[in-house]
Amino acid sequence: MSANTTITTSLPVMEQFYTIQGEGYYQGNAAYFIRLGGCDVGCVWCDVKESWDADAHPKWEVADLVTEAAQHPGRLAVVTGGEPLMYNLDELTAQLQQAGFRTNIETSGAYPLSGHWNWICLSPKKFKAPLPEVIPFANELKIIVYNKSDFQWAEEFAAQVNSACKLYLQPEWSVSKKVTPLIIDYVKAHPKWEISLQTHKYLDIP
């Protein structure tokens, strides 16, 4: 299911850092984040809009990225963006796994799936919906809740993911005080869902 068959050995990297995963299923785990540059999904509330322009970020050789990640004791690598599936990630994930990493991705699913993943977090966006063929592979469905209509949006995708997929509702940070009470009520009424919080923002860590 690769976006293309060309082996990608260098990628535009906005930032890479060792931190604590702040949200979703792996919340609280030490993780090495690789944030790729480039995104055309266009979320108006995106908190990393500086990632959108791929040309604004230096290209890193995959081998150098893996070497940098391996300097830290954690062996969970999270590839995010931007929209990381704009690129073929087969080589990146193969080298990370050869170095002993579990590979996680956070994606909107708007591009074909590539790479070898231990965990796929699908976070669909209304601005550019995920490809139907990506949805069944999600281990985690994370819906960002900005307003009440997002609950119906969430249910549309909950009906499409596999039965083992974890379901999360996460308040969009800028309106969290308004929507968090709505999410609490919704989860109480629909307990198949769980609440995901951006705990790294509460803890003030990258």
Question: What integer is the mean pLDDT of 13-37?
Answer: 96
Residue 5: per-residue pLDDT: 58
Distance, CA of 112 to CA of 150 (rounded, Å): 24
Residue 85's φ and ψ, nearest 5 degrees, are: -75, 5
Instruction: Please give the share of the chain, as a percent, with pLDDT higher than 90.
Output: 81
Fold observed for domain 10-203 = TIM Barrel (3.20.20)
Residue 66 reports pLDDT greater than 60: yes
The residue whose two tokens read 């993943």 is 117
Q: How remote is the C-alpha of 200 from its chain's centroid?
A: 15
On average, the pLDDT of the chain sits at: 93
- pLDDT of 190 > 60? The answer is yes
Q: Would you say residue 200 has pLDDT above 90? A: no
**pTM of the entire predicted model:** 0.92
Point out which residues pair with 30 in neighbouring strands.
20
The C-alpha atoms of residue 29 and residue 126 are separated, in whole angstroms, by 29
pLDDT tens digits for range 127-143:
889 999 999 999 999 99
- For residue 14, the SS3 value is strand
Mean pLDDT throughout 172-189?
96
